[in-house]
Structures are given as structure tokens and as C-alpha cells.
Amino acid sequence: MIAAPESTESPRVILGKIVSVHGLRGAVKVYSHTDPLDNVLGYAQWSLSRGSEQRTVSVLGGRLQGRVLIVELKGVDDRDKAEALVNFEISVEAGSLPELEEGEYYWYQLEGLQVINLEGQLFGKVDHLLETGSNDVMVVKPCEGSIDQRERVLPYLPGQFVVNIDLDKATIQVDWDSEF
């Protein structure tokens, strides 16, 4: 049997979205998913996607203004060109992200993992994570084999409620009662 060739491109990670234009000279407003917000400016090139449309742009510079970034892109020098980029998601290859310390994870690595409690009950899979005022939370949606069809919102607190994360087994073990 011949194995299919592996893709040489690493998965893409969404870092933000172009949400609006700023001024008349082609700057765009970007909502960033990075922490801190201006980390998205650390990537010289962005891949943009909206539906089936794909583009690559070069970042000239930007600055934080409130909760959004004002960004200048190469070749985008008027309002019309900037408006054409609104609602494009910004992504980079996962391999270009900085390496994390042991025991730290990017959210994209946790999405899709099965969540199992200490009793071995499958709650479902991590659909996405959310930032809250006090701590991050995992939104766990039921999947095939789940103990019920409830959507759960579990605190993402490693060492407290999150007992173990095993990327190879695609599981997160949690100390959480199925009745909660």
C-alpha cells in the first residue's frame, strides 16, 4: 500500500479579521484574536480569506487604537481598496507561531479534542474557547458517544479542573461532574 503524500503546508491559524476601513488612505481596522492584541502585527505577511476568496498581503505597519488595530497594507492606498478587504479573516501558518512552554497550548490545538471526566464519561468535543473576565472557558458540544446531548461550558483552568491534555490521543481529561 502506498501512503498519500503529506502536505508540506502546516495548518492555518486565524489571528483576526478586517472589520472596517479607517480614513481615506487605505488603512483598515483589524479585530485581533492575539494576546496582546498587537501581536498580529508581528507577521510580515497575512493570508486573507473570505468564503472562497484567498489573498496574501504584506503588512507595512499598524497601531493599537482602543480594541482594534489600524493597519496599513502594501498596495492598499485608498478607501476603495481597503473596503474590498472588509470581512476577510487573517491567518498564518501554524508553524510560524512562537513555540510555547511545556504545558501551554494554543486554542486551535484544543479545538476538536474530546473532553472526558475522571469517571471516563465523554462530554463531547471542544468546539471553541472564550475569554471571560476571570478565566477562559471551553465550549464543549456533544458528539458521537457523548453521555448526553448537552452543550457544556467548562472553565479552562489547568491544574484545577483541567487534569490532563493529550494531543496525541486528542483528549482533555477534566475534574468535572456530569451533573454540572
Architecture of the domain made up of 109-174: Roll (2.30)
Lowest mean pLDDT among 5-14, 28-37, 109-118, 163-172: 5-14
CATH fold of the domain at 12-95: Elongation Factor Tu (Ef-tu); domain 3 (2.40.30)
**How does pLDDT run across 97-111, given as a tens digit for each residue?**
888 898 889 888 999
Classify residue 43 by its DSSP letter.
-
Q: Residue 7: what pLDDT?
A: 45
Q: Residue 9: what pLDDT?
A: 58
Displacement of CA 120 from its chain's centroid (Å): 28
* Phi, psi values for residue 121, rounded to 5°: -85, 130
Confidence band, pLDDT 50/70/90 cuts, at residue 4: very low
| Neighbour count for residue 5 (Cβ, 10 Å) | 6
* Phi, psi values for residue 159, rounded to 5°: 90, -15
Q: pTM for this one?
A: 0.73
Residue 36 has pLDDT above 60, yes or no: yes
* Residue ranges of domains in the chain: 12-95, 109-174
